Amino acid sequence: RTRVPATTTLALPVCTASRALHFVATERESNFSTRTPRAVPRPCTMASQAVVSAVAASPVASQPRGATAGRASGFLSGGVKVPRRSAFARTNAKPVRAVMRAAAEGGSRPSPYAFEKEMDQLEQQQTALGGARLAAYAAVVGGGLAIGAGVGGKVGGNAGKAVLTAGLGAAAAAAVATADKKRVSAAPKALWNGMMNRDPATITKSEVDAIGAKFGMKDMAKECPEGVTELYDAYLMSVIPMGDDPVQGWEPEALRNFRAQLGLEDADAANAHIEVGRRLFRKRIELGDKDADLESRREFQKLVYISTRTFGEAQAKFLLPWNRIFRVSDAQVSLAMKDSASNLLRTRLEQSGAVANLDDAGLAAAKAFQTEVNLSDADAAEVVHAMAQAHVVGKVEEAAELASARTVNSDYSAANALLREVLEYNATLAAKSGALPGLATVNLFGTSFADKTSEAKTLFTNFLTQGCEEGTFSAELKEHAGALKVLFGMGNKEAEDVVIDVTTKVYREQLRDAVKSGALDNAESPAAVLQKICEALQFPPEIAAEVNKENYRTKMEQVMEKKSLTDEDVEALSRVRRLLCVPKDVVDACTREICGAVYKSQVQAAMSVGTEAFTPELRDRCKAAKNSVRLTDEMALEILKGEVVKAFMAYIRVARTKQNKIEQSKEIRKMVFFNQTVVSPMVSDVTKAAAEDAAKELAELLKEAQEAAKKEEEEEKAAAAKAEAEEKKDAEDADADADAEKKDEAVAEKKEETADEKKEEEKKEDVVKVEEPTYQKTVTLREEMDSVTAQGIYQDYLMFCMQGDTVNAPMGVQITIERDQSEFTRLTQLGDILGLNQMEVGSVHKGLADKAFRAQAEQMLADGKGLTAERAEKLKEIQTSLSLPEADAQKIIKGITSKKMLSAMQAQIAMGTLSIADVRKMKEEGVEIDNVISPDKRMQLFRKNAESRLTDGSGAADIEALSVTLPADLGIEPEKAKTELLKIANDKKRSTMVAAVAELRQKKVADVVKSAKNLVACHGVAPESKLEWGVKEELQDIYSVFANEGAGEEEQKNLQDALGLDDETCDGLREIVKAGKFQLKQDVADEALF
């Protein structure tokens, strides 16, 4: 045996290295041996030489060794040699042959048999013999026998002749047998060399059989399957696409044809497929590179698909156990089949253009091809949908490029035409959805264009702009806009905004044209023209109103550039308002904002100078600004109010920064001066006309009322005079002097009435005269601050008015100045500025009065002596001086006394001297017992009073007082009080019984009687509890003592029940007592108490 290196070299031709990804695999073995032909015995040497001589004339044998030695294990130009051991090979290791990647079907493909296989001497002899092989075998054997006979006869006679003849004959036969075995390995090599540099697809069955016949084989694939399988293995490696190259579809058919030409069995061919899979698996493991790993996985997936398609899915499951050998799951195998089939379908669709053109024939062919490659509808739908989406993306991106191109006229017709093609394409997809899976309307979601929202928005905008050029938003355009919105994946709000922007621009253009052409001026109703434009564009009326408002505003800004309005300006604004149908509230808002800015600037300038520097000239400037911009009094007042409120709040903010209340009040006083000096005149300028109009209207109303009343009175007087005249006419004997005198009196009365009426009219006229107030009440801070804060400011200033101002003297001394009564006038103004009503002002005054009265009352009642008559009179005087209501004063006094009483009660609780009488007194004084005494303390007081009632020796238990009245006084729940009372009675009943027996034994008769009565009282509360006593005689003695001391029959009956004595015993005891025979024994048995 000879050792050879574990790695040999396979040469890769330089001319094809750039086009092919060749397989490199290394079998990690420390050694592998190559068997050399076993040396024949020496006697056979001559026979072997004879065989060699017989084939010496063969052309193959005559070739120089150097011609094939370089090609034995690799390509012609040298390279890396990698050994390969096939799983199916059971003979010596054979070198791996590097193969070229197959080119596309129908094109020129490099042959996988690009080198010649080297044969040894015997294999060359077998090749050279061909059909003369058997004759050569016979000649060799015959020659051996002849040589043995000749040499043996000369050397050893007949015996030597026979021996030598047999030996040489056997040696010749053995040499022939050894040489014949070489044809099994020589035939595949001859077939390989015969196919060298040829396309395997061109090999025919007859050529294969001819080479097999040359070696005496009828079916080479059956007689030497290993060698033929190696040929198939090389071709299989050549047809598997390497790297990222996809499966092209022709490979399974080519392999089936090649296998048929070779006559190779399916099982043997399957071994080649498994071996190729192992080779790819080893490549992934040994290289250890991520890219190589991914590449090997892809190649393995393509091998799985090609193998399955080659043998058929049913047979492949049996012949190719991928799951068991390579530890792959069914899902992975399915994925491999899906990927390759999808790539094939994608390639076929790209070549035929079926998805791009959507022709019926192409779609039908694609459907047939889908069935051919056994691809499911869901997987085919993914491929078709992706291709349709890619087609649409290409069109849209082209349109985006055209739209982004800078042109002079900004013509987007070409881009919009592409978008229309996309829309038509989508419509066709929807119409032919049943022709091929995946044919459905597509959008750009998940594509490269999905993130290009700005480009999509631009295309959408351009499409709508061109569609609305004629001033209409047609139903077709609306439908196309909806389809584009879905295509671009735009939201409803986003698409609606774009539509509104485009239609707004078109509306502006249409409106401008209508104004320029005079259509609006000449129209009978401008509103009808505007409505027609909106309906044509499907433009919302509210947005159209906003556009009209902007146009009116723009016009007003133009005419207000000179800071004033002329009659021509007013007329122009009126025309724009009429044409655009601008409502009055919009006109007022624009006037207030634009024209009011001029008046506002003058107001700010006037207020900024302060109280001292304010002059009538500044006031006149404000009035002139108001008149120049044609502001109404209401608008001017609203603007003025805003600025005045800001000024007032500035004073209040400064006041809050002061250190004490006096300084704060001084700052508030500045605000009052500012209101009187600056604000009031300016407010008067914008409200005087309205006040005069109101006063005039009121005077007219009063005058009409007076005239109506006067007329009614005259009618009543006329009726009375008529009735009186009739009465006078009936009296015939009336005296004439009397009549004259009465007439004079009537005239005098009439004169007096007329004079009185004139005076009343003069007074009424005086009443309706308008007097200009000294300060304004229109602008207040009512809406700027809450009432609590406003009342706090008012109260602080009220205290300032009451206490007076202070000045700082040397040495840190503060001197209080005498109170200024005019401060109360400013206090009234402050209340109006803060927007306080009479109720809120009264509340502040009342609060201060309450505080003052409370302070005086607490001082008087501090000694705890209570409210005497003298103190009550003094408090009454204080109440009157402070104008405090009687109810409030009494409430304060009662609260103070209750507080004093509460303090005393807390002391009694602490000392334990609080009684139920004290509690009732406090309740009468208005003290809430539930709040001032804890529940535990109240229950303790209840328990104490109950025990006192049951042990006072009265013998009577007032159940109602204990269970109803007492709990109500203490604020205890009745049920809870009843439970506690029963518990107390049971406890006391037992202890009282013990005390009664003890006193009986001590001969304390009075104490025994008292205990008996207490026992009766406890039994009255808890009659259900029974007492048990061991010494019945002692119970009888207690009853006898109780009866002997003059207890009544009812009391005796109650004690009998409490002691548990029967009637017969008690009757006997009563007879003994009546007979005077009862007396306490001197010696009493000392018995246990229990």
DSSP letters of 523-549?
-S-HHHHHHHHHHHHT--HHHHHHHHH
Run of H or E residues at 845: helix 838-860
Give pairs for 654-661: CB < 8 Å, separation 24+. 655/793, 661/796, 661/799, 661/800
Q: What pLDDT does residue 141 have?
A: 57
Closest CA to 618 of 686, 682, 688, 687: 682
Q: How far is CA 267 from the centre of its chain?
A: 62
Helix (H, G, I), strand (E, B) or coil at 84: strand
Is-contact 556 591, C-beta < 8 A? Answer: yes
What whole-number distance in Å separates Cα of residue 852 and Cα of residue 879? 9
| Cα radius of gyration rounded to whole Å, the chain | 65
Q: Which residues have CB under 8 Å from 63's CB, separation 6+?
A: none
Q: What pLDDT does residue 179 have?
A: 61
Q: What pLDDT does residue 1087 have?
A: 39
DSSP 8-state secondary structure symbol assigned to residue 442:
-
Is-contact 947 988, C-beta < 8 A? Answer: yes
Q: What pLDDT does residue 128 have?
A: 63
The segments of the chain whose pLDDT lies below 50 read 1-107, 763-773, 1082-1090
Q: What pLDDT does residue 6 have?
A: 34
Q: Name the token pair of 1021.
A: 């509360």
Beta pairing partners, 428: none
Q: What pLDDT does residue 550 have?
A: 92
Helix (H, G, I), strand (E, B) or coil at 806: strand
Closest CA to 52 of 129, 105, 107: 129
Tokens 């099994």 -> residue: 184
Is-contact 1016 950, C-beta < 8 A? Answer: no
Q: How far is residue 13 from each of residues 22, 115, 872, measured CA to CA in Å?
A: 11, 10, 132
Q: Name the token pair of 395.
A: 């069109």
Is-contact 44 140, C-beta < 8 A? Answer: no
Q: How far is residue 497 from each of residues 399, 403, 1066, measured CA to CA in Å?
A: 22, 20, 110
Beta pairing partners, 808: 814
Closest CA to 299 of 88, 101, 12, 104: 101
User: Nearest 5°: phi and psi at 771?
Assistant: -105, 130
What whole-number distance in Å separates Cα of residue 86 and Cα of residue 268? 12
Q: Which residues have CB under 8 Å from 203's CB, separation 6+?
A: 195, 258, 261, 262
Q: What pLDDT does residue 762 have?
A: 52
Q: Name the token pair of 440.
A: 């459905």
What whole-number distance in Å separates Cα of residue 258 and Cα of residue 177? 33
What whole-number distance in Å separates Cα of residue 389 and Cα of residue 617? 78
Closest CA to 149 of 130, 169, 120: 169
Amino acid at site 742: K
Q: What pLDDT does residue 905 have?
A: 62
